[in-house]
Amino acid sequence: MAAYSLICSAAKFSLFNSPKTTKPSNISTFSHKSKNPNSILISSSSLLFFSKTRNKTKFCLSINNNNNNNSNNNNNKPFFSFLPFSSLDSFFVLCASLALSFSLFFINVDTASAFVVTPTRKLQSDELATVRLFQDNTPSVVYITNLAVRQDAFTLDVLEVPQGSGSGFVWDKDGHIVTNYHVIRNASDLRVTLADQSTFEANVVGFDQDKDVAVLHVDAPKDKLRPLPVGVSADLLVGQKVYAIGNPFGLDHTLTTGVISGLRREISSAATGRPIQDVIQTDAAINPGNSGGPLLDSSGSLIGINTAIYSPSGASSGVGFSIPVDTVSGIVDQLVKFGKVTRPILGIKFAPDQSVEQLGVSGVLVLDAPANGPAGKAGLLPTKRDGYGRLILGDIITSVNGKKITNGSDLYRILDQCKVGDEVMVEVLRGDHIEKIPVVLEPKPDET
């Protein structure tokens, strides 16, 4: 820039000290282009050139204004055009031009950037809100690696190899990590990678197979743990914006956006097949590896855990499901305090719904009722065979506490609303008559 100013000063000096201009021959040019029409730059058509007239060398300068919108600019006529200089002036301008040329040659920068200022990027308000939400909540999302022990067939060495991966998020400052149960299933070792790429060994605190929720613990410094703010899922609305953060396909933190497509959906647990009620349906892309990651609302609060997609190919098809945070909160609190979930059970095994439909009846057919279980103690009859091998149907449960039962999902839905120790009135079809039997619910046995 100093050399450029020097050239302009020399040209101005020569302009007022030269009597006339002479158009030279044998022009050598150096061009510089700029996209800024309002700036006076070194001319794109001609900058510096020499001319020889009658064995006398004249050094000339041309500086153009590239503003095409200027009506006074007649065909881009230069401000300083073909100026004859004295030998001293020519030598002075030649030195200045050489200084400019060497500065552009040795300094490895884009010449346009030296003259044109790039305007700052402008984002819309909704874009700024999304960017801020991702930056604020990414430190709370972790990457979980599921390792399994394998023995090499040739060397017989025992190795730990990754057999799966997923996402999770920090629940509290004590190091508790929440994820899906199917992410950690059958793992011999688990590793949790935080947002700063630090990795820690993780221990399983507890899990709930029926609701596909698990809690891990890592011994990480508290300054590395950023818990997510827990929201409420009871007042969600269809059409509300949601944001999913996770590690799909093993990639780094990824954000997908969408809306709530439906509420109070029902899916089956990947581990036990037991139905999960009040599930959130969203069109935010959820791919393999997103499982266990958080689903956030526009304020950045946790409203669900991304758990499943509906797709025959396993890729995102615009239909994803998340376990609502109201369900997750109760499960996590029990797992953190007791290491298990005390969910009530009726203590029976029942037949598939298709088998009952073939019999032409509506309800849940009891296949087995262990004598030490709640139903066995209350006197419910299981299905069995007589001495001749003929099948004798057991009791068919038609209602619980006056609520009609048509299939196994209805039975699970009612039991989820009960507590351990509650007495429920079970109505059964026994033979050709109806009986009502009181049953005291007991806790589910410990799972290993």
Active-site residue numbers? 182, 212, 291
Q: Residue 281 in contact with residue 261, Cβ under 8 Å?
A: yes
**Which amino acid is it at 94?**
L
Give the position of tokens 């945070």.
325
Distances (CA, A) of 373 to 62, 270, 357, 408, 442: 101, 26, 26, 18, 8
Cβ atoms 197, 267 nearer than 8 A? no
What pairing do the DSSP bridges indicate for beta strands 391-392 and 403-404? unpaired
Contact predicate 7/61, CB 8 Å: yes
312-345 burial code (b ≥16 CB/10 A, e <16):
eeeebeebbbbbbbbbbbebbebbbeeebbebbb
Handedness of CA 336, 337, 338, 344 (dihedral sign): negative
